[in-house]
Amino acid sequence: MSDFFDALETRSPAEREAAQMAALSVQVAHAQAHSAAFATILKGVDAASINSREALAKLPVTRKSELLEMQKASRAQGGDAFGGFSALVRGPAMSRIFASPGPIYEPEGATADYWRTGRALFAAGFRKGELVHNAFSYHMTPGAFILESGAHAVGCTVFPAGTGQTEQQLDAIRDLQPNAYTGTPSFLRILLEKAAESKVDVSCIKKASVGGEACPPSLTSWFKEHGVAVYQTYATADLGLVAYETASREGLVLEEGVIVEIVRPGTGDPVAEGEVGELVVTSLNPAYPLIRFGTGDLSALLPGNCPSGRSAPRIKGWMGRADQTTKVKGMFVHPGQVADIVRRFPSVNKARLVISGEMANDRMCLQVEATDADAGLSEQLESAMREVTKLRGLVEMVGIGSLPNDGKVIEDARSYQ
């Protein structure tokens, strides 16, 4: 039996990069022709020239908040509920429509494993003929369908458990003896604890693919102690599968159908390998062709390949949210403003805006790593801060490499006691 879902997982990095860059220019042209939103966003872009990561990085980032606003504006005018982002039309090609908080409406194409999660479930040990207890919600949001489609792609049968009704779910597990679980890690823990309390044997569940919330190593270890090997699956309603965990437990391997960049929060500028930043994803899915879609999630690229033998790049996993917008003295300050300040000074490598103080006594301090910290640089930076944020702040020069690699551009260190 193969250890891999398909041959794409073990192709050489050079082969994958060449294939993805060739597909990228085709996808940009497709988005311009079949997505009204991207026809506007990418107006004037020569699709054929977008065939490298450098060219991709020059395109604008479209963030989830912008997609929501474009959908709302379109709906307010009696237009397309998807805001012009979907390349599908209602009918046989669009099997379902989902609603995420906002609401943001997402289409599901009528293709097998539309969300591409089969790869993640296979890596988690799911196999043909097994029964999967799917405890993601089947109500409005696509979570349950995202994992169900992957289970079917692997060849599994699915019990659509949904959420809640813990006692009935335990009855079903006892009666049906599922091999695997999909759902949030918190609900899996509730099921296991309730099973122990009620003396219901659920030891049939040996593996799980979890998502929707963080699953720290301590919780993974807890599940292992209770007989369940848990693997993280990082997927979104917009993009489908982005990355997944393997038996090596060393980061999450990127899915074959996406191109991932890590950019400085508040910008579209790629960061160096290993530096924490915002995940920006380009989907190669023709049904919903999102180009440079800002997820708002923080992560970092890991060096080298996965010990499992999969050759795609890896990310550390979910490391927090990139949207660090905060209010200072009644005015919003956001990461893009910090980036605007830094761009004015070529000698500045990195900066972090620290907000401190207590109750109506906010103080701003821009901590700066610079290669040439001459006497006038601090004053120039303070002036730029006033101009960009309309607020006064101090500048503190710090040593190169001393700022934490945690993706934070704005740190709210105020006391709220």
Q: What's the N-to-C CA distance of the chain in angstroms?
A: 59
Indicate whether 37 belongs to any domain: yes
Q: What's the rounded Cα separation, in Å, for the pair 65 and 20?
A: 27
How far is the CA of 348 from the CAs of 341, 369, 387, in angstroms? 10, 6, 18
Kindly report the CATH number assigned to the domain that includes residue 402. 3.30.300.30
Q: Which domain holds residue 370?
A: 326-412
Q: What's the rounded Cα separation, in Å, for the pair 299 and 316?
A: 6
Q: Judge if 293 and 337 occupy the same domain.
A: no
Token pair recorded at residue 337: 């403003």
Q: Judge if 364 and 254 occupy the same domain.
A: no
Rounded to the nearest integer, the mean pLDDT of the chain is: 93
Q: Judge if 233 and 356 occupy the same domain.
A: no
Q: Judge if 311 and 342 occupy the same domain.
A: no
Query: Residue 242: what are its φ and ψ, rounded to 5°?
Result: -110, -45
How far is the CA of 266 from the CAs of 68, 196, 285, 364, in angstroms? 17, 46, 25, 18
Indicate whether 335 belongs to any domain: yes
Q: Judge if 308 and 334 occupy the same domain.
A: no
Q: What's the rounded Cα separation, in Å, for the pair 271 and 406?
A: 12
Which residue, 171, 173, 184, 313, is CA-closest to 252? 313
Q: Judge if 173 and 290 occupy the same domain.
A: yes
Indicate whether 383 belongs to any domain: yes
CB 251 within 8 A of CB 301: no
pLDDT of the residue at 1: 43
* Single pTM value for the model: 0.85
Of the three residues 263, 298, 317, the one that is the final residue of a domain is: 317
**What is the DSSP code (8-state) at residue 287?**
T
Q: Judge if 306 and 334 occupy the same domain.
A: no
Q: Is the per-residue pLDDT at 303 higher than 50?
A: yes
Of the three residues 293, 317, 341, the one that is the final residue of a domain is: 317
**pLDDT category of residue 324 using cuts at 50, 70 and 90:** confident
Of the three residues 292, 317, 342, the one that is the final residue of a domain is: 317
Q: Judge if 313 and 365 occupy the same domain.
A: no
Amino acid (1-letter code) at residue 396: E
**pLDDT category of residue 416 using cuts at 50, 70 and 90:** low
Indicate whether 3 belongs to any domain: no
Query: Residue 268: what are its φ and ψ, rounded to 5°?
Result: -115, 20
Residue % of the chain over a pLDDT of 70: 98
Q: Which residue in the block uniquely carries the two structure tokens 């079903």?
A: 172
Indicate whether 1 belongs to any domain: no
Q: What's the rounded Cα separation, in Å, for the pair 247 and 307?
A: 9
Q: Judge if 309 and 333 occupy the same domain.
A: no
Kindly report the CATH number assigned to the domain that includes residue 141. 3.40.50.12780
pLDDT of the residue at 16: 98
Which residue, 143, 215, 228, 222, is CA-closest to 178? 228
pLDDT tens per residue, range 120-135: 999 999 999 999 999 9
Q: What's the rounded Cα separation, in Å, for the pair 265 and 7?
A: 34
Indicate whether 302 belongs to any domain: yes
CB 217 within 8 A of CB 250: no
As a whole number, mean pLDDT of residues 151-176 equals 97
As a whole number, mean pLDDT of residues 363-373 equals 91
Q: Judge if 301 and 401 occupy the same domain.
A: no
pLDDT tens per residue, range 328-340: 876 778 888 898 9
Residue % of the chain over a pLDDT of 90: 82
Q: Judge if 273 and 395 occupy the same domain.
A: no
Number of domains into which the chain is organized: 2
Question: Read out DSSP for 103-138?
Answer: TEEEEEESSTTTT-THHHHHHTT--TT-EEEE-S--
Q: What's the rounded Cα separation, in Å, for the pair 199 and 167?
A: 12
Indicate whether 417 belongs to any domain: no
Q: Is the per-residue pLDDT at 65 higher than 60?
A: yes
Indicate whether 2 belongs to any domain: no
Q: Judge if 402 and 257 occupy the same domain.
A: no
Helix (H, G, I), strand (E, B) or coil at 291: coil
